[in-house]
Amino acid sequence: MRVRPRRNRKNELIRKMVEETVLRPANLIYPLFLLEGDLEKQAIDSLPGIFRMNLNDLFLEVEASVAVGICSFVLFPAVPEKYKDKTASYSVNAANFYLEAIRQLKQKFPQIILMSDVAMDPYSSDGHDGYVENGEILNDRTLPILGDMALAQAQAGIDIIGPSDMMDGRVGFIRDVLDSKGFLNTSIMSYTAKYASAFYGPFRQALYSAPKAGDKKTYQMNPANKTEALIEADLDTAEGADFLMVKPALCYMDVIHALKQHSNLPIAAYNVSGEYAMLMAACEKGWLDYNLAMPEMLLSLKRAGADVILTYFAKDFAQLYHQK
């Protein structure tokens, strides 16, 4: 045998020398769940280690994250039922605790990157990402609502707008609204290929945001489709997206790969709540080793083509990264 691939694996230094993929804390975005007022920190059953937090607790979590090199966050509000209505009007309410949190976070931590969620579901009495009429999700009726929501977030100081709603044309619509108001440098990370997935369950539990009726299949993508993701990618690119996202991540690594091949934009992958829950459950049972399985999972997403990963593991990954 002249060819022995094992020679390039013979010790740690050589393995590092030929290592093809490197994942750093700077590639990660850490999702945070915000509570109104001064409510105490709440554990989420299906997301062990993740909490709904009031703004003060959130400050501590951001501080601890920044200390290990996690400086990018995506913020989600747990909106009390009493604020929800047909048009998600609370999303632009002057007293909105989410917008206030954005202002305060950016003031306290000017160096962080803060990303928002744009979709009606956390604020909608129907629990859908778009406007519902007679059981139908109306695309074009939803766009101005999303535009106003994005503008309010930009005005509060958000760095990256994250439209997660899957309405047609929303990236361009939001881009136009932002530009017309002078927010030329507010980025858009589009949830480009967001699938109608069972893996969002724990997230909807965390935000009490599950649809009151029906499912999200008329706007989120069919898990059977990959080529269709390229249509979405072309549209979002033409409409001015700065990043294209695939969501969920683990069951959709072929889609991540396809988008990376297809596009010159940075590709993001959302390692969603159900994927976190799955690994945590196996680790709690002692069936998997957390410190080995977790970084392997995230590295694999990078190898598949994700430049950026949104993950509930962000802080733990960074802690491990510095120990090595």
Which of 36, 57, 117, 126 touches ligand PBG by CB under 6 A? 117
Query: Considering the rule CB under 6 A, would residue 273 count as an interface residue with ligand PBG?
Result: yes
285 is catalytic: no
Q: Shortest gap between Cβ of 129 and ligand PBG (angstroms)?
A: 5
* Residue 38 or 81 having the CB closest to ligand PBG: 81
Distance CA(148)–CA(176), nearest Å, equals 11
* DSSP letter assigned to residue 221: B
Residue whose C-alpha is closest to residue 311's, from 324, 322, 287, 295: 295
Could you say which of 84, 194, 302, 315 is catalytic? 194
Which of 164, 186, 237, 311 touches ligand PBG by CB under 6 A? 164
Buried b (16+ CB within 10 A) or exposed e, 38-63: eeeeeebebbeebbbbbbebbbebbe
At 261, the amino acid letter reads Q
* Residue 9 or 212 having the CB closest to ligand PBG: 212
First vs last Cα of the chain: how many Å apart? 35
Query: Which secondary-structure segment (H or E) carries 319?
Result: helix 314-323
* Residue 183 or 200 having the CB closest to ligand PBG: 200
| Cβ count within 10 A of residue 198 | 10
* Residue 51 or 289 having the CB closest to ligand PBG: 51
Report H helices in 68-200.
Answer: 97-108, 139-156, 170-180
Residue span 9-38 as binding mask against ligand PBG, x where in contact by CB under 6 A, dash where not = ------------------------------
Q: Shortest gap between Cβ of 164 and ligand PBG (angstroms)?
A: 4
Query: Considering the rule CB under 6 A, would residue 116 count as an interface residue with ligand PBG?
Result: no
Integer Rg of the chain from CA: 20
* Residue 3 or 144 having the CB closest to ligand PBG: 144
Which of 35, 53, 174, 272 touches ligand PBG by CB under 6 A? 272
* Residue 80 or 262 having the CB closest to ligand PBG: 80
Query: Considering the rule CB under 6 A, would residue 203 count as an interface residue with ligand PBG?
Result: yes
Using the contact rule CB under 6 A, the part of the chain among 139-147, 197-205, 238-246, 279-287 near ligand PBG is 197-205
Residue span 121-140 as binding mask against ligand PBG, x where in contact by CB under 6 A, dash where not = x-------x-----------
247 is catalytic: yes
Task: Tell me, by CB under 6 A, how many residues bind ligand PBG.
Answer: 11
Furthest C-alpha separation in the chain? 72
Residue whose C-alpha is closest to residue 69's, from 324, 322, 313, 312: 322
Query: Considering the rule CB under 6 A, would residue 174 count as an interface residue with ligand PBG?
Result: no
Could you say which of 84, 216, 247, 315 is catalytic? 247
Distance CA(291)–CA(187), nearest Å, equals 33
Using the contact rule CB under 6 A, the part of the chain among 21-29, 97-105, 117-125, 277-285 near ligand PBG is 117-125
Query: Considering the rule CB under 6 A, would residue 200 count as an interface residue with ligand PBG?
Result: yes
- CB-count exposure of residue 116 (10 Å: 0-12, 13-18, 19+): buried
Distance CA(186)–CA(158), nearest Å, equals 7
CA 36 to each of CA 230, 243, 313: distance values in angstroms, whole numbers, following the listed order: 38, 30, 24
Q: Which residues bind ligand PBG (CB under 6 A)?
A: 117, 119, 121, 129, 164-165, 200, 203-204, 272-273
Active site residues: 194, 247
